[in-house]
Amino acid sequence: MNILHIIDHKVKQKALTKEMIIFFVHGYSKGTIPDYQISALLMAIKLNGMNDQETAWLTEAMVSSGETVDLSGIEGTTVDKHSTGGVGDKTSLVVGPIVAALGLKLAKMSGRGLGHTGGTIDKLESIPGFTTNLASARFKKQVNEVGMAIIGQTLELVPADKKLYALRDVTGTVESIPLISSSIMSKKIASGAKAILLDVKFGSGAFMKTIESAKILAKAMVNIGQSLGRDTRAMITDMDQPLGFAIGNRNEVLEAADTLQMKGPQDLLELCIQATSKLLVQAKKSDSMKEARIKVMEVLSSGKAYAKFIEFITAQGGNFEALKQPALLKTKYEVSIKANQPGYLSKIDALALGQAASLLGAGRLTKEASIDPNAGIMLHHKIGDRVLSDDRLATLKSNLPLTDDTLQMIKNAFTISTKPSKPSLIVHAWIES
């Protein structure tokens, strides 16, 4: 086997064999093939694509470059839910307790936020005492006993992806459906769950800007999961405006808690009801979405899902009562952004608000930076709402002095029209095969 031959093969638009894929993935992971040759191959893949079979082999080769999580000792159906990332996306904090209250097992490894998107681990670590660092035995014990656990990545999962992603980032080869889908799915497959639900977001605050591109990515990931023996489905959801009202770690945890008590924002609640209903169908606990929805509504309205949320937080050392104290949530600066004219909110730029929230301290501008758990933006309206002149559109919270640029960026994120605009739909489509 020879790397030049593999590059030449892809340049000539031929499909790579399984052996060729294993050779280059493991060779790069172990350091026997240099960056410059893999860069050339990645560019050939970006330009000429990969078929479904090559993409599945690529995913498998990446999974086998490192350790995998063994969930075989866990009783019941293990499920995982993955979002391609967005602004105000706290769905895992709502979905987990609902499915755990219904007897499924959520064993989840999550990441931190970077850039304009938040990360579940940062949100959870904003709860006083909460640890996202559990040893493998304790993680599995908690999943068995509580029904859910969420931790940061502990094992050396998919080291090939780490190396390849870093190289793609600096060689203009991130945007390639086979490379993105195999990168995401390799981590999901290595995490061990039997059923995987992907929330593929599209819109200004998402990685995929259009619904068409989100569907193509979703289809590629569903194909990979299915061909590697996992029940994988995808929902295509809106990220043209932030999800819910809260952006910023502690406020997002509180909004997730409100949603579990059915006091939260409608878009977040609906997304979570649909996601959990689908997971029940995937786990064969319900025959239809309609039947599953009744079960989901029961654990929400009876308080069982909220009780599960508290049980989960407590099991990982968190003190939710302490988080709710107003003194803990205080920031030095709190500023309102008001409507400058009456009308209907027609656009809320999720990307701009995600970037602005990072500047306020809620996110990281570099991997090493620390975040301020209280910083963020609280929206007071959603697209479609009627607003009067001077109505509050958002409240900004920060411990850093607000610059004029940041304030202007946030003001510009809101568009008010004179004509009514339709509230946007949250779940647009399902990709299931």
Residue ranges in contact with ligand URA by CB under 6 A = 165, 179-180, 183-184
Nearest to 311 by CA among 104, 139, 119, 142: 142
Whether the Cβ atoms of residue 64 and residue 29 lie closer than 8 Å to each other: no
d(CA 129, CA 174): 37
Q: How far is the CB of 37 from ligand URA (least distance, A)?
A: 20
Count Cα neighbours of 308 within 13 Å in the Cβ-side half-sphere. Answer: 30
Considering beta carbons, is residue 153 or 282 the nearer one to ligand URA?
153
Sheet holding 392-398, edge to edge: 246-247, 376-379, 392-398, 333-338
Nearest to 408 by CA among 396, 391, 425: 396
Considering beta carbons, is residue 165 or 430 the nearer one to ligand URA?
165
Considering beta carbons, is residue 184 or 281 the nearer one to ligand URA?
184
Considering beta carbons, is residue 184 or 396 the nearer one to ligand URA?
184
Considering beta carbons, is residue 165 or 319 the nearer one to ligand URA?
165
Considering beta carbons, is residue 59 or 286 the nearer one to ligand URA?
59
d(CA 364, CA 357): 10
Q: How far is the CB of 254 from ligand URA (least distance, A)?
A: 27
Q: How far is the CB of 49 from ligand URA (least distance, A)?
A: 15
Nearest to 117 by CA among 151, 93, 167, 83: 83
Catalytic residue set: 82, 161, 168, 183, 187
d(CA 307, CA 431): 32
d(CA 376, CA 396): 6
CA angle 159, 165, 167 (to 5 degrees): 110
Gap between the terminal Cα atoms of the chain: 34
Q: How far is the CB of 410 from ligand URA (least distance, A)?
A: 26
Whether the Cβ atoms of residue 200 and residue 163 lie closer than 8 Å to each other: no
Considering beta carbons, is residue 98 or 180 the nearer one to ligand URA?
180
Q: How far is the CB of 165 from ligand URA (least distance, A)?
A: 6
Q: How far is the CB of 5 from ligand URA (least distance, A)?
A: 26
Whether the Cβ atoms of residue 219 and residue 177 lie closer than 8 Å to each other: no
Instruction: Please list the alpha-helical segments (H only) found in 126-176.
Output: 136-146, 159-169
User: Residue 378: beta bridge partners?
Assistant: 246, 395
Q: How far is the CB of 181 from ligand URA (least distance, A)?
A: 8
Whether the Cβ atoms of residue 42 and residue 179 lie closer than 8 Å to each other: yes
CA angle 3, 178, 107 (to 5 degrees): 110
Q: Which residue is nearest to ligand URA (CB)?
A: 183
